[in-house]
Amino acid sequence: MQLSVMLFVLVYAGIRDVSGQSAYTKRFVLPEYDPADSTHFMISAREDWEQINNSSLRHFFVEPHADYGTVVIRSAGTEAAWRTISLYNGNDVHPAKLDRTEQANVKMVFNDAHYWVVDRMSSFDSGNENCFLIRNRSTNILLNRLHLSGFWDAINIRGPSDAPFTENITIQFSRFDRMAEEGIDGDRIAILLSGEVWNHDRTIANTMILNNEFRNCNDGILLASHPEQGYRADYRGTLIDHNAIYVDQEVYTDGRGNPDSLGLRAFTENAIDLKGGSEDPEEPVRIDNNVMWGFRRTDVNGGGSGSAGAAITGHYHVKNVEIRNNLIFNSNRAIVFADPAGMEFSVENAEVTGNIIYDIGYSTSGGTEYANYFYHSKNVTFSGNAIVMRDERARWLSLEGDEQNLEVTSNIVLDAFEQSGRRSATTLFSDNVFFRTLPAQAGDGQYFPGLERADRRDTTFITDRHTTRTREITLPGVIVTLLPDRTGIDPDRIADTVLLSCYPNPFRGTTTISYRVPSASHVTLKVYDSGGTEVAGIVSAQRGTGTYEAEWETGSTPPGIYFIEMTAGPVRVVERVVLAQ
C-alpha cells in the first residue's frame, strides 16, 4: 500500500489564491510502514539513529521525540531508489499544526549524502547549531514539510570550490517560525547558501526554495559572499519561488531596543539578501512569485547588523538575476541594489519585471523613502512593474547617476513621489504610465493627474497555510491597468469606438479578453510579443454590435510582456498584458 504525500492544494470559496504553488514542486510517494519489510526501520530512541547509514535499510519511520540530538548522514540512495525519513505519528498533518509532543525534534547533517527525502521533521530550540546542514558535495536532497522554530540558523547549504558541486537541494512546504532572539541579535539567517569555508570559492547549483513560509527571521534567505576576500560565489540555477516571507508587530521596536507594535524599526533585516549570483547567464538566480511584507529599518539594539528595511536587497556584484512577478507591500523599501564594496558593480545583468510594489515608505525620519534603486549597476531592466504608493510616502525610483544601461520601461506608477537623482547617459525611460505622479522628464511616459483612466483591482492571497492560523489578506487596488482613451470623442461617432480589456492582468495560464463592437464589422484579435512577432491568433470573424469575450490560453508561451491587438473595421485598439511565471 502506498501513501501519497499531500501537497496542500487549498480551495477556499470566494478566495483566489494568487500566491499559488510552484510549478517546480517536487512530488514523491512515501511507503506505509510495514514491519515485515526488511528495508523499513522504526526510530523511537536516539540510539536507533545509528542505523541511518546502514545500506540495507531504505525507509526510516520516526516516532515523536522531544530531542533526538544531531544525526550525521553519510550514505546514499540512488536515482531509482531514494531513501526516506518521515514522521510516524498516525497522521499526515504538517508538523507546524501539531503540538510539540507529536513532533520529532532532530538536527541533521548531510555529509557527502545523496538521494534523500526528509518529510515532516521538526527542529526547535537548536541553539548555536544548524537545524539542517548540507555540505561536502551532497546532492539530490529533498526537505519537505519541515517545522523550524526557535533556531539561530535553520538550514545551511555549503558549496565546495571545485566539482563535483553541492547541487539539486530542494526545500519546500516548510515553516520557519520564528528565529530565537539570540539568532536575530546575532545576524543569523533562516536559509543560508555559503561556502565550506568563508574565504574560498564555492558553487552550489540548482537549489530550489519553494512554497515555504518565513515569519520573523533576521534574514529569510541569503546567498553569501565576502568580496574583500576576492573569491567567486556561484549560485547558478537557484530558484526562490512561491514563498511567503514576512515580519510582524512581534518584532517591531521604538528604535532603542524596546518592543513597540507600532514602531517603525524592527529586530530584523530583509526577506532576501543577495551577496552572490550566478556565473552562468543561462542559469540565473530566479526570484519569482513570492509575497513579502512588513520589513522595517533594523533596530541594531537587539537586531541584525543593519538594513534599510528592503524586501529584496543585493550587494557585492550580484550577476545574472531575474526578479519576476513578486508581491511586495507594507515595507520601508522594495527592491534595492547598492554597495559594490570595492567591486565593479552592485548588480550586473538583472531583469526586474511584472512585480507589484505597494505601500512602501515607513521612514523613521518622517521624510520620503526610496522604493527601488539600482545604484552602481550594469544591464538592469526594470519593466512591467506596478508601483502603487500610499500617501506619497516614497519616491518610486532613485538613481545615483552611475547606472550603466538601465532600462525603465512600461511601468505603472500611482500616488508616488517622482523619481529622484540624476540619470546617466545610458539610462533609458520610456512608455511608463504615471497616475497622480509627476514624470521627472518629458518622454518618460504618459501622465494622468487623476484616476479616470486607471482600472484598479484588488488581489487576495492566502498565508500561514502550514499552520492552524491560515488567513487571507486583500490588498485594494494594486492591480492597475490603463483604460483606453475615450475622451474628446464626438458623441455622433461614439458607435465607431471599441473598448478592449483583459482580466486578470498580470495573469498565469489564461486571461479573459472583453471587447465591445459598436457596429457590425470583421473583428480580429491577435497577440504580439514585445518584438512585434505575432504569437497567437484568437479571433477572426464577423461580429455584430455588442460585447464579447474570448480567452487566451497561453500554453507553452514564455512569461513576459505581450500586446493584444483588436481590429474592427477601421478601428485598431491595443492592450498591454503581462504573462507571469
Banded model confidence at residue 276, pLDDT cuts 50, 70, 90: very high
Residues 255 and 325 grouped into a single domain: yes
Nearest to 269 by CA among 192, 326, 350, 156: 192
458 falls within a domain: no
What pLDDT shows up at residue 530? 67
152 near 125, Cβ under 8 Å?
Answer: no
Cβ atoms of 524 and 566 within 8 Å: the answer is: yes
How far apart are alpha carbons 319 and 316 in whole angstroms? Answer: 9
Q: Which residues contact 564 (CB under 8 A, 6 or more apart)?
A: 500, 502, 513, 525, 526, 527, 538, 552, 574, 575, 577
Q: Are residues 257 and 365 in the same domain?
A: yes
Angle value at C-alpha 474, between 470 and 478, nearest 5 degrees:
145
Residue type, 8: F
164 domain-assigned: yes
pLDDT at 370: 93
More confident residue, 556 or 95: 95
What's the rounded Cα separation, in Å, for the pair 365 and 265? 11
Taking all residues of the chain, what is their mean pLDDT, rounded to a whole number? 88
* Interatomic CA distance for residues 20 and 465, integer angstroms: 11
113 domain residue, yes or no = yes
Kindly state the cell numbers that stand for 36: 515485515
Domain contains 317:
yes
Cell of 1: 500500500
pLDDT class for 12, splitting at 50, 70, 90?
Answer: very low
| pLDDT for the residue numbered 200 | 77
* Average pLDDT, integer, range 449-470: 91
Quote the cell numbers at residue 391: 500617501
Q: Is 274 in the same domain as 415? A: yes
3-state SS assignment for residue 251:
helix
Nearest Cα to Cα of residue 176 among 237, 132, 226: 132
Between 172 and 362, where is the model more confident? 172
Q: Is 142 helix (H, G, I), strand (E, B) or coil?
A: strand
Confirm whether 470 is domain-assigned.
no
From 160, 188, 217, give the residue that closes a domain.
217
Name the more confident of 146 and 391.
146
Q: Identify whether residues 72 and 198 lie together within a single domain.
A: yes
Looking at residue 253, the DSSP 8-state letter turns out to be E
Share of the chain above pLDDT 90, in %: 67
pLDDT tens digits, residue range 50-93?
A: 999 999 999 999 999 999 999 999 999 999 999 999 999 999 99
- 62 and 161 assigned to the same domain: yes
Cα distances (angstroms) measured from residue 261 to each of 176, 178, 264, 464: 21, 16, 9, 20
> pLDDT exceeding 70 applies to what percent of the chain?
92
C-alpha to C-alpha distance for 247 and 102, rounded to whole angstroms: 27
- Closest C-alpha among 522, 518, 502 to residue 562: 502
Question: Starting at the edge strand that comes first in sequence, how are the strands of the sheet with 297-298 ordered?
Answer: 252-253, 265-266, 297-298
What residues contact 522, with CB distance under 8 A and at least 6 apart?
540, 541, 542, 543, 568, 569
533 band by pLDDT with thresholds 50, 70 and 90: confident
CATH of the domain at 281: 2.160.20
- pLDDT band at residue 96 using 50, 70 and 90 as cut-offs: very high
Torsion, Cα of 274, 275, 280, 283 (10° steps): -20
The model's confidence at residue 229, banded by pLDDT at 50, 70 and 90, is low
Average pLDDT over residues 297-319: 90
- Whether residue 361 sits in one domain with residue 213: no
Quote the pTM value.
0.83
Phi, psi angle pair for 352, to nearest 5°: -120, 100
Both 213 and 241 in a single domain? Answer: no
Are residues 397 and 350 part of one domain? yes
The confidence score (pLDDT) of residue 227 equals 67
Whether residue 461 lies inside any domain: the answer is: no
What is the β-pairing status of strands 347-353 and 377-383?
A: parallel
More confident residue, 276 or 392: 276
Q: What is the CA radius of gyration of the chain?
A: 25
Tell whether 211 and 277 lie within a shared domain: no
Q: What is the pLDDT of residue 14?
A: 27
| 385 lies in the same domain as 265 | yes
pLDDT at 568: 83
The CATH number given to whatever domain includes residue 533 is 2.60.40.1930
Coil/strand/helix, residue 110: strand
Q: In angstroms, how far apart are the furthest CA atoms of the chain?
A: 88
Among 388, 416, 450, identify where a domain stops: 450
Same domain, 423 and 536: no
> Which residue range is the domain that position 36 belongs to?
1-217
What is the rounded distance in angstroms from the CA atom of residue 359 to the CA atom of residue 341? 30
Asked if 251 and 193 sit in the same domain, the reply is no
What pLDDT is stored for residue 18 in this prediction? 41
Q: Is 74 within a domain?
A: yes
Q: Which residues contact 518 (CB under 8 A, 6 or more apart)?
A: 494, 495, 496, 497, 498, 545
- What gap in Å lies between CA 316 and CA 231, rounded to an integer? 11
Nearest Cα residue to 153 out of 125, 188, 124 = 188
Dist CA 130 CA 155 (whole Å): 6
Write phi, then psi, for 227 (nearest 5 degrees). Answer: -65, -25
Cα separation, 541 vs 519, in Å, equals: 14
| Final residue in a domain of this structure, among 393, 424, 450 | 450
Q: Between the CA of residue 483 and those of 448, 455, 489, 562, what are the distances in Å? A: 12, 6, 15, 16
Query: Where are the extended beta strands (E) located within 301-438?
Result: 310-314, 318-324, 327-331, 333-337, 347-353, 356-360, 369-370, 372-374, 377-383, 386-388, 394-395, 404-409, 412-414, 428-430, 432-435
Residue 450: C-alpha distances to residues 48, 57, 183, 443 (Å): 69, 69, 47, 19
The verdict on residue 465 lying in a domain is no
Count structural domains, the chain.
3
Backbone angles phi, psi at 513, to 5 degrees: -105, 120
Q: Helix, strand or coil for residue 347?
A: strand
- Cell 567567486 locates to 232
Distance (Å, whole) CA 368 – CA 225: 31
Say how many CA atoms lie within 13 Å of 327 toward its Cβ: 24
pLDDT top residue among 278 and 483: 278
Q: Is the pLDDT of residue 230 over 70?
A: no
Distance CA 516, CA 493 (A): 15
Q: What is the DSSP secondary-structure string of 475-538?
A: EEEEEEEEPP--TT--GGGGGG---EEEESSSBSSEEEEEEEESS-EEEEEEEEETTS-EEEEE
Please tell me the distance from the alpha carbon of residue 229 to that of residue 197, in angstroms, as a whole number: 12
Give the CA dihedral 205, 206, 209, 211, nearest 10 degrees: 180
